[in-house]
Structure 1
Amino acid sequence: MKRIKILVSGLLLSSTMMAAVVQTNGNNVTITPDGGQAKVVYLEVINNQIIRVRATSKDALPVKPASLIRVPVAAPAKGSYTITDEGDNVVVRTQKVKAVVQKATGQITFFDASGKQLLKEAQEGKKFWDFTVPERELGMKTGYTVPEEQKHGLSWQMKFDSPDDEAFYGLGQHQSEEFNMKGKNEDLFQYNTKVSIPFVLSNKNYGLLWDSYSYCRFGNPNDYLQLNRAFKLYDKSGKEGHLTGTYIDARGKKLVRDEDSIYYEYGTPEKSLIAQQTDNGGIKNFPKDINLMGATVTYEGFIEPQLSNGKLSNSPLYQFILYYSGYVKVYIGGNEVVPERWRTAWNPNAYKFSTELQPGKRVQLRIEWRPDGGEAYCGLRVAEPRSKQEREQLSIWSEMAKDMDYYFIAGDNLDQVVSGYRTLTGKASLYPKWVLGFWQSRERYKTQDEIEGTLAEFRKRHIPIDNIVQDWNYWPEDQWGSHQFEASRYPNPQQMLDNVHQMHGRFMISVWPKFYCNTDNYKELDAKGWMYIQSPTDDIHDWVGPGYTNGFYDAYDPGARKMFWRQMDENLYSALGKGVDAWWMDASEPNVRDCTPMWYRKALSGPTALGTSTEYFNAYSTVNADAIYNGQRSVWKGKLNEPRVFLLTRSGFAGEQRYSTATWSGDIGTRWEDMRAQMTAGLNYSISGIPFWGMDQGGFCVENRYVAAQQLYDRTKVENEDLKEWRELQTRWNQFGTFIPLFRSHGQWPLREIWNIAPEEHPAYKSFVYYDKLRYRLMPYLYSLAGWAHFKDYTLMRPLVMDFNGDREVENIGNQWMFGPALMACPVGYYKARNRSVYFPAQCSWYDLYTGEMIIDAKPNVSSLMFNVSSSGRRLVVDAPYEQIPVYVRAGAIIPFGPEMEWSDEKPAELIHLYVYAGQDGSFQLYEDEGTNYNYEKGKYATIDITYDDATRTVSFGARKGQFAGMLKNRQFNIVLISKEHPQPLNLDNPSGKLVSYNGKAITIKL
């Protein structure tokens, strides 16, 4: 029985004031503060770097079910922490971190081991509101009534003060080209192109992971306001009360009317709950007799900062959010604050921007909008302005949870913070080696012949590829969710898989959590009460053929997960000889219907087996991934040569990495701004703790001008200006994709195979083939990084702040990054750009990858080697020709290049060209295993530690550790030393170097 120690403080307090109570129990302490909203504050030591905090405004902490985020963590050893009552404070100490709790208020301050303050809770830093789920959000489920207790919970907000030199990262993947989130707002929910992770990291080397699955907000906790609530509005002639909307359709018909807000954001299903309870605005309020397809719309007038309550803001910065489809520009005060953006009509986007406005001063607002489809969306809202101090606080709001529950994770660097996240949420799986190769996909291959013929063409052209992807709609038109191939188009699925494998390819297939109501699988799930039925109840039809009613399954129910996998297994996995290599888990937000208000999205996807969808709004993709990962592994039950599970999902949530799951950034647009947005999106997603991320290279949704340009070329072989831009965009995007974890081409028509993008003699074709082959030569390097991600909690796609923290310049650089420890990738994100600005951190010298020339000679000193300097590096404008993006190598880097290959396991790396870059000491651990199975879990893998001593110009190979079946016992390393004095261009066929035989024993070579 544990010994519980209770201390009562404040014995001399007034009888009207409750005394603080402190209760310790092993590695945790519960405090009842004297005051403040939090009646109970609880701290638990997880390990030396992690402290858990729970708080509630109720009299006691709730008993909660097992976390969907957490994995079991061994209790800390006795003596590794202390919990002491020190007068006004309770102090929790470990070797790495200290938390001080004020007994009077429950306010918490965190310090590192040296006593340096890392994070301090703001005054009134904990806020709570009782929350009851609105009836309209509850949704429907077969034979299920939501228990009364599940309808109630807490909304909470936690706020922490933040110094001016702090920067914030993480939060998942978002699309506004924002990298450092300090002072910015982000709504955290799941949607196509948007992935929300409840984890934020600071350049002060700590992170916060909060255990909440509901809709959350980072930054401003309040709803964005309609323009008429933040401003006085004037029409274009100066009359107060409205803006002016001018609509001109393709026939020239014109309509001018008053607009009291710009909030045309949601469609209205024909027969549904939403039709009875619409939010203000929505496309139903568009002019009825104007055809928006091909129309031009202008909203214009003047805005004068003044809140609807008549108060003037004391802050000049206004933070806007623009919701749009079609083409849109925004001007404020005569300045273009949003250059032209585009998004397809069926998948609108949100974009954020800020501008300064003076209280009481009227400025012009003008929105130029060209809807580009039968559906059309346009909305402009603004956050209530706050002071600079409020904006820059670390503020997190959760709509509904049982209590406030978060983990403070400290580290000596951001890698240790990410490691703490994975300690809590699970190790990243070691993905199959072929995942690091090239994948070809399109929306979509329509027949068995197209799948086989496409892969065969890659092999014929000797273009490296590993994975071919079958996207959606391979089933009979009215049988979505049947998991069965339409026989007329796929006459022999087993033969198709066999043929793919005979060509040394892998086969990935799309599976949705969506089912047409007429399918046997839907009926089986529904009979158990495991389907969300709001959509079919409201008679919502999808976009296929005549439109079909459908529902999504409840992945929160363990029985539903097992049935979902069994249905996949019976129709796709065991049914096809276990030949499916990977799963494309689409629409896992879950995306029951696009373009609906938030409350209706909740109604469509609930209630869940665990509670209301309001409370469990964001975690669906994690439990869905659980279904497939554990389902496939259960089929093998530890048998020899069990193939590694691999999932690609359009959504993501904390903990997904433990289910061998990667995420892609959804149905993004094919615009330059969309490509640039993927850079910041991928960096923040990667630092959020989930190491494998990718995108649709080239963009998914295509502008009509590109479609027309391709059609013209197919008829006439004329490359017009739009086709030139299309090809350059594809080129730059493929160059970008070479240096991220997943290298995958995908999108709507025009077709995305490189020979369909450009002919062989075209620079777009040549560039793709060059970078594709480079990717495969890098396979020993890349697979080592994948091994590190599992064994060392490594992050492959690395914001510069991870390796060069302390250099203030890197805090805001979201368009260049480290890909592993050696390579700094600097993609080009603008049309016709033939150079770009690159920042070179001061901590090391830098070489050009292609020429081997030293670009920056930093001559680092001892302190700079610790990556803790504040001195700035250098910024240079560098060449970026059409066929090549700038890539640099840091001094001290060791890069193992393997043989030229057409698939990832075509041949063993018997000869490795080991490029070593002089100017600094360096190290690299080569990781190898069997590449496709789970024997690494049994210790069957090998590592070789390689070090470089710059002073003596020696390379040392440590004794090989470990072994596995098929391991190369003897190999050769060709050591290529690149130095300032002796640069060598990158030559991966026969570079000049020193050839060394290695048999697994330690050896040192003088260069």
Structure 2
Amino acid sequence: MKIAKTLLSVALFLCATSVYSAAYTQHGNFITINVKKQTAHGAKIVRLQVIDDKIIRVESTNESAFKPKQSLIIVPQNAKSNFKVIENGGNVIVSTSEIKAFVDENTGRVTFKDAKGKTILAESNIGGKTFSPFIVPEREIGVDSHLTESQKHGVSWHALFDSPADEAFYGLGQHQSEELNMKSKNEDLFQYNTKVSVPFVVSNHNYGLLWDSYSYCRFGNPDGYKQLNNLFTLYDKDGNKGALTGTYTQKDGYQIVRGEDSIYYEFALPDLAKAKAGKDLGVGCLPKGFKLNGSHVTYEGYIESPVDNLYRFILYYAGYMKVYVDGKEVVPQRWRTAWNPNSYKFTVPLRKGVKAKLLVDWYPDGDVSYCGLRAASPRSEVEQGKLSIWSEMTPDMDYYFIAGKNLDDVISGYRTLTGKAQVYPKWALGFWQSRERYKSSADIESTLSEFRKRHIPIDNIVQDWNYWKTDSWGDHTFESSRYPNPQAMLDSVHALNGRFMISVWPKFYSSVKNYKELDAHGWMYHQAVKDSIYDWLGYLGSFYDAYAPGARKMFWRQMDENLYSKYKFGIDAWWMDASEPNVRDCTPMWYRKALSGSTALGSTTEYFNAYSLVNADAIYNGQRSVNPNQRVFLLTRSGFAGEQRYSTATWSGDIGTRWEDMRAQMTAGMNYSISGLPFWGMDQGGFCVENRYVAAQQLYDKTGEENEDLKEWRELQTRWNQFGCFIPLYRTHGQWPLREVWNIAPESHPAYKTIVAYDKLRYRMMPYMYSLAGAVHFNDYTIMRPLVMDFNGDANVYDIKNQWMFGPALMACPVGVYKARSREVYLPKQRGWYDLYTNKYYAGGQTINADAPYDKIPVFVPEGSIIPFGPDMEWSDEKPAELINLYVYQGHDGEFTLYEDEGTNYNYEKGHYSTIKFTYNDKMNTLVIGDLNGNYNGMVKNRRFNIVYHRKGQTVANALDFDNISGTIVKYTGKSLSVKLE
């Protein structure tokens, strides 16, 4: 599917019946209202578009007419005709069978109500819609300026909606501050390594808002974070007014003490400073000549607030960092590698005129490092709790209101607008082995062979970056000395029943042929080359302009000629790294824009967040053009609304290897999934490694000694792999120490045994998981589910950050604390719950202290669940599921649909797949196995079901001992049958 073009032109309107009244005009499914009482920053025109019974689009402009534009995220929609428009009481009211939209004729304020007249969402009376003219700053345009004057001009807009106290918000993509419920939170929406921003938010009140904007946006406070001296009166550690005290102590004892009017050392790259000499970088300067690595830096003193307020702070950090306010540790120790800083948010209540003691305690661990502390301008908690969206630059305000009976319904509406998700390849649900990085074909083949020798399940092995000649990034070729026969390598991988994924970046060194070919057509970004920005290997290059249709076609052709068709379609999947695009790490926002534009469509400022979407389009449509029946699969480090239609998944980037990083992935994955994008994963075990773990592994390699750091490393890897078993993508990856399970720990170690055990469980769950993958496509399902999706109405679940449903039947409760051997688990009140491992039953609506020994994390099953477990396998299609252990849980009616197809092709689009529906009647203790519907090549027509009935009060030693299960075996020939469960 090509990127949808939605041209808002007069021709579109004239194709339908027109209606005119004093208050509005109607052209087909568009209703336009000219606001009567216009203000300088308010809307002049509001236009509604009825998409269907549950979706209404709202466009507003501060100008005299709407500008023509195209949408990158919205697919073509069928015009809705069954709705009514009336004028009543000063409102234009548009009604469908499910919702009503009221537009105030005087102000343009929009209110949404359900069919019974209950308000679902309303723009605020004051400030509901505000506009400011925007002109792209010259420094953001960069050297690739081919913008017309009109392309430099747009609007910044702010939308503000009332929100009751009991409302909770989710979505916005993937962020790293361990936040789930985003009510009263601030989140800057831009793409960056470990950060994925999606312009979609959902509410526990069963609606969603999708805004069609690709620029930098803010959720929450529209003003952004400010330097400390812009909000507070500062005092040094001795109480002198004017600045904090900065103390810089090198490891040799040399010390510098100076005043600091802000803490803003976030972009301290020396080559950037050199490249932009004489220009304002918008950042502070660390002491000249001070050696950061191994030093100790403190910022201390007092901050005095002008008002009583709960202040929201954001900390940028690399190295080890703690923050204290009035002696209280408000930020426990955090760490991040120097080249890849992180951010963390926290709140502190401050009182007017009262000095609060501040201490930022920082141990940099690199020659270049980062530290920044800012705060948001004060707002009342009522105002902070509203639904607030700000967009930096668009032609107009443009959002879609999506109502639903539940949150699955809302997600379905989102995919109606942005495109159906594909049925992802079956093997993608299996285990993936990756590392940074396999350096030769021998590495690839020997690693996969070792998995097979050890009988450890695996489907996919991943080739990370730099398989090419070091100075030839972007030529898409294997370096012959290390990969002498790539075709033989691929054949070997496939002979071992594996799949091969390869990393391809949208990045090119300026010396390679592919760069020059793209550049000849004007499809390369030049700012990095002009400014002599060399990458970490010491070479000069840049990224291609994926917004140009011709560039996308050429990019794919280069991949195809050098990789895909060249090796007989033997590459199974693509790893699209750095697709933010990350032309340069750790640069100020304005310079990031200059480095990646202007684009073929307009300024990078306007199109800042959508690069990964158009890049995914290049690969998806490219591969289908040359091999239309092999399923495309992309893994990308960024993500955006609509990527699901390009068979694209996202991983959470180069995260750290610490417990807080693992915990952050739980909320990151849940919010990403509820953003409507169904396939997400992470670097299990973390990517960037602390030096103490490296040293511990080196000691072990020399002496065989497992010191305390190595014990923690192995437990961290174990807990992270347990976590990874219950998310859509099950993939390990990271820097050294090596991440293959035998490199983590020896076979006798509980870490090894546990990781392998969960890997095997993952493959037992394949019938269950692949059915969920089918439901993603056919029913717009979500696999990784925040508890609010299934247990909305139980307020206790609205902000549980470390539990989720993995499909309808498994509640995963990972352990995110070192040495924890139990953890609290909340069991939602709507159901009773069974322990997956022991079958012990618990009533819902309570918090329990669940056992969590080293080798297990708590997993609970809601009563009424039906789970199909398949055979023991070492790869996803090793054997058909002729015998399925069908677990049925007493206490509630239930159903589940088993989905099967050919696993790797698009024949399902032609109707070649099968389903079997299971229905459990709790009152009658009866399971009905429905008819086998559908057909496909290789379908299992006759099979056995071993029905294992789990009942209250029945505990077992090991409910997952599939070799010793007591159940009722029934033979199934495709005809419906009813089984009485005893």
Normalising to structure 2: TM-score of the pair?
0.97
Q: Which stretches in structure 2 are left out of the alignment for 5+ residues?
A: 1-14
Decide which moves more: 253-262 or 438-447.
Answer: 253-262
Which residue matches 1:158?
Answer: 159
Which residue matches 1:864?
Answer: none
SS of 1:572's equivalent in the other structure is: helix
Contact kept? 1:272, 1:539, Cα under 8 Å: no
Deviations 1:817-863 (A, max 9, x none): 00000000000001111111100001111000001111x135xxxxx
SS of 2:979's equivalent in the other structure is: strand
Give the drift of 1:983.
3.5
Paired residue for 1:826, among 813, 828, 831?
Answer: 813
Q: Does 1:130 align with 2:133?
A: yes
Paired residue for 1:326, among 293, 298, 319?
Answer: 319
Which residue matches 1:236?
Answer: 237
Which residue matches 1:74?
Answer: 78
Which residue matches 1:43?
Answer: 48
Q: Does 1:437 align with 2:441?
A: no
Counterpart Cα distance in 2 of 1:711 and 1:541: 31
Matches within 5 A, 1:14-93: 21-36=23-38, 37-65=42-70, 67-76=71-80, 78=81, 80-93=82-95
Paired residue for 2:119, among 117, 120, 123?
Answer: 117
Give the drift of 1:616.
0.2
SS of 2:798's equivalent in the other structure is: helix
Paired residue for 1:741, among 725, 728, 745?
Answer: 728
SS of 1:812's equivalent in the other structure is: coil
Give the drift of 1:604.
0.2
Which residue matches 1:866?
Answer: none
Give the drift of 1:3.
3.2
Deviations 1:135-170 (A, max 9, x none): 1101233xx622111100010000001000000000
Which residue matches 2:899?
Answer: 927
Contact kept? 2:275, 2:533, Cα under 8 Å: no
Counterpart Cα distance in 2 of 1:271 and 1:38: 42
Matches within 5 A, 1:410-449: 410-449=403-442
Which residue matches 1:139?
Answer: 142
Contact kept? 1:852, 1:986, Cα under 8 Å: no
Contact kept? 1:534, 1:604, Cα under 8 Å: yes
Matches within 5 A, 1:910-949: 910-949=882-921
Amino acid at match of 1:668: I
Contact kept? 1:789, 1:795, Cα under 8 Å: yes
Give the drift of 1:273.
5.9
Contact kept? 1:893, 1:917, Cα under 8 Å: yes
Give the drift of 1:390.
1.1
Paired residue for 2:451, among 454, 458, 464?
Answer: 458
Amino acid at match of 2:731: R
Which residue matches 2:659?
Answer: 672
Which residue matches 1:865?
Answer: none
Give the drift of 1:270.
4.8
Which residue matches 2:838?
Answer: 851
Paired residue for 1:408, among 401, 411, 433?
Answer: 401
Give the drift of 1:73.
1.5
Which residue matches 1:367?
Answer: 360
Amino acid at match of 2:693: Y
Give the drift of 1:304.
0.4
Which residue matches 2:461?
Answer: 468
Matches within 5 A, 1:591-630: 591-630=582-621
Matches within 5 A, 1:713-862: 713-854=700-841, 856-858=842-844
Counterpart Cα distance in 1 of 2:967 and 2:843: 23
Counterpart Cα distance in 1 of 2:961 and 2:453: 25
Which residue matches 1:11?
Answer: none
Paired residue for 1:992, among 963, 966, 969?
Answer: 966
Amino acid at match of 1:554: D
SS of 2:302's equivalent in the other structure is: strand
Counterpart Cα distance in 2 of 1:595 and 1:274: 14
Counterpart Cα distance in 1 of 2:424 and 2:920: 29
Give the drift of 1:274.
3.2
Q: Does 1:253 align with 2:237?
A: no
Q: Does 1:294 align with 2:307?
A: no
Give the drift of 1:981.
3.5
Decide which moves more: 661-670 or 259-268.
Answer: 259-268
Counterpart Cα distance in 1 of 2:480 and 2:466: 12
Counterpart Cα distance in 1 of 2:356 and 2:268: 31
Which residue matches 1:870?
Answer: none
Q: Does 1:377 align with 2:370?
A: yes
Which residue matches 2:949?
Answer: 977
Deviations 1:916-954 (A, max 9, x none): 010111100000000010000000000000011111111
Contact kept? 1:271, 1:538, Cα under 8 Å: no
Any runs of at least 4 consecutive aligned residues in structure 1 with deviations exceeding 4 A, and if so which?
A: 270-273
SS of 1:592's equivalent in the other structure is: coil
Contact kept? 2:771, 2:897, Cα under 8 Å: yes
Give the drift of 1:240.
0.5
Give the drift of 1:358.
0.3
Give the drift of 1:6.
2.1
Q: Does 1:573 align with 2:561?
A: no
Amino acid at match of 1:784: S
Paired residue for 1:352, among 345, 353, 370?
Answer: 345
Q: Does 1:96 align with 2:101?
A: no
Deviations 1:715-753 (A, max 9, x none): 000000000000000000000000000000000000000
Counterpart Cα distance in 2 of 1:113 and 1:664: 40
Give the drift of 1:271.
7.2
Counterpart Cα distance in 1 of 2:258 and 2:567: 60
Compared CA separation, residues 352 and 270, structure 1 to 2 (3 A): closer
Contact kept? 1:911, 1:971, Cα under 8 Å: yes
Deviations 1:653-682 (A, max 9, x none): 000000000000000000000000000000
Deviations 1:427-455 (A, max 9, x none): 01111000000000000000111000000
Which residue matches 2:4?
Answer: none
Which residue matches 1:867?
Answer: none
Counterpart Cα distance in 2 of 1:121 and 1:713: 61
Matches within 5 A, 1:509-528: 509-528=502-521
SS of 1:563's equivalent in the other structure is: helix
Contact kept? 2:421, 2:647, Cα under 8 Å: yes
Give the drift of 1:483.
0.3
Q: How many residue pairs get matched? A: 960
| Residue identity (%) | 67
Which residue matches 2:9?
Answer: none
Which residue matches 2:5?
Answer: none
Contact kept? 2:317, 2:341, Cα under 8 Å: yes
Give the drift of 1:276.
3.2
SS of 1:920's equivalent in the other structure is: coil
Counterpart Cα distance in 1 of 2:976 and 2:779: 23
Counterpart Cα distance in 1 of 2:597 and 2:282: 24
Amino acid at match of 2:843: D
Which residue matches 2:278?
Answer: 276
Amino acid at match of 1:194: K
Counterpart Cα distance in 2 of 1:432 and 1:807: 35
Counterpart Cα distance in 1 of 2:173 and 2:433: 25
Contact kept? 1:271, 1:539, Cα under 8 Å: no
Counterpart Cα distance in 2 of 1:74 and 1:991: 51
Counterpart Cα distance in 1 of 2:427 and 2:282: 50
Contact kept? 1:274, 1:600, Cα under 8 Å: no
Counterpart Cα distance in 1 of 2:873 and 2:450: 16
